[in-house]
Chains A and B, each alone.
Chain A
Amino acid sequence: MDNLIIEGTPKTPTVEFDAAAGKIVLKGRSIPENSIEFYKPMQDWLAQYGSTPATQTVVDIRLEYFNTSSSKCILDFFKKLETIKDSGNQVTVNWYFETDDEDMQEAGEDYEAIVGLPFTIIEVDEI
């Protein structure tokens, strides 16, 4: 299947979904006015990927900021990944946050508490 690549903008993150490698990256800022529209291609891609996923899927979330309307879409995105995991595949999430950014750290912890996926919350100097 095709990879999903979306270039980042001041309001939307860089998206790099590599089906063969099982590597999913979301990086940058996610503050679009209409998040549902922006996240739709990712949901569609995941739905297709879920039928023949890689043995191991690694998800890297490197977000600098996200707005509350993205927060719901990110949850839906994790839920989709959860169904892939529940059908017997390995899925892990690396949630990155910048040193001192306790808000982003807490956000990662909150998702970890809601979603049934193994999270590693990682502190880095720069996202």
Chain B
Amino acid sequence: MAISDVYDFYRRMEDDHIILSFKGAFTEDLLTSILHIVEGKMEDLQVDTKKKKRVFNVLVESFQNLYHHIEEMAPDRGDSEKDNSAMIIVKYENHRFTIITGNFVNSNRIPELRHKLDTVNALNDEALRELYRSKLENGGRTEKGTAGLGLIDIARKSKNKLDYEIIDVTESIGFFCLSVLID
């Protein structure tokens, strides 16, 4: 980016009502910082408790979803740029929060990912709650403790359909964009 583009870059973020954006390596400490910043912002904006909690929840789940998946794919990567770099953006406009994430995924995981998202998007609140409950009760878990409940929980807290897109970067790597609205 040329120095003359900095203002445009800033303007673009301002016009898009972005209150936080980060691109880089996802670490445990980063989540703590992001939560701290967004919570402070929500205090200033006097966001009601229920919405505050939902935003907080979606932030935690989206972040940790990425965090675990990035770890999973790290061994397959030689490329340092894509290694554990991901993106998170939080927008606030007209009392609506949007949490956008972008990260690389192995192409062989894409069909499963699409299937999960489409399943979640096809369900209403009550059906999502039942799916969550049955997965909690009967589902397995990886050694890191992830239980495959992340996307279901995000959908439950969002109360909106999950907007997503997966872009093919190379034959074996895709870029997964997820946009979650909390209104």
Tell me if B108 is interfacial: C-beta within 8 Å of chain A: no
Q: Is the CB of B133 within 8 A of A72?
A: no
Q: Encode contact with A along B89-104: 1 for CB under 8 Å, 0 otherwise.
A: 0000000000000000
- CB of B103 to closest CB in A, whole Å: 16
Q: Encode contact with A along B128-148: 1 for CB under 8 Å, 0 otherwise.
A: 010011001100010111110
Residues of A within 8 A of B146 (CB): 68-69
Q: Is the CB of B132 within 8 A of A10?
A: no
Measured in the bound complex, the distance between the Cα atoms of B147 and A98 in whole Å is: 26
Q: Is the CB of A101 within 8 A of B53?
A: yes
Q: Encode contact with B along A48-79: 1 for CB under 8 Å, 0 otherwise.
A: 00000000000000001101110111010000
| CB contact between B54 and one of A67, A72, A99, A103 (< 8 Å): that residue | A103
Tell me if B83 is interfacial: C-beta within 8 Å of chain A: no
- Which of B31, B147, B149 is packed against the most chain A CB atoms within 10 Å? B147
Known contacts A11-B32, A36-B145, A106-B129; is A71 also within 8 Å of B50 by CB?
Answer: no
Residues of B within 8 A of A72 (CB): 136, 141, 145, 147, 149
Known contacts A36-B145, A75-B136; is A65 also within 8 Å of B60 by CB?
Answer: yes
Q: Size range of the interface on B?
A: 20 to 34
Q: Is the CB of B136 within 8 A of A36?
A: no
Residues of B within 8 A of A113 (CB): 133
Interface of chain B: mostly helix, strand, loop or mixed: helix
Residues of B within 8 A of A10 (CB): 32, 35-36
Measured in the bound complex, the distance between the Cα atoms of B67 and A71 in whole Å is: 18
Tell me if B79 is interfacial: C-beta within 8 Å of chain A: no
A/B pair count, beta carbons within 8 Å: 77
- CB of A3 to closest CB in B, whole Å: 25
Known contacts A34-B144, A36-B144; is A103 also within 8 Å of B64 by CB?
Answer: no
- Which of A31, A103, A106 is packed against the most chain B CB atoms within 10 Å? A31
Known contacts A10-B35, A31-B60, A72-B147; is A65 also within 8 Å of B53 by CB?
Answer: yes
Q: A68-B153, A69-B147 provided; 16 other pairs, C-beta below 8 A?
A: A10-B32, A11-B31, A31-B64, A34-B144, A36-B143, A68-B150, A71-B136, A71-B147, A72-B141, A100-B49, A103-B54, A104-B53, A110-B132, A113-B133, A114-B133, A114-B136
Closest 3 CB pairs of A and B: A68-B149, A69-B145, A35-B145
**Chain B interface (Cβ < 8 Å from any Cβ of A):** 28, 31-32, 35-36, 48-50, 53-54, 56-57, 60-61, 64, 67-68, 129, 132-133, 136-137, 141, 143-147, 149-150, 152-153, 156-157
**Chain A interface (Cβ < 8 Å from any Cβ of B):** 10-11, 31, 33-37, 64-65, 67-69, 71-73, 75, 98-104, 106, 110, 113-114
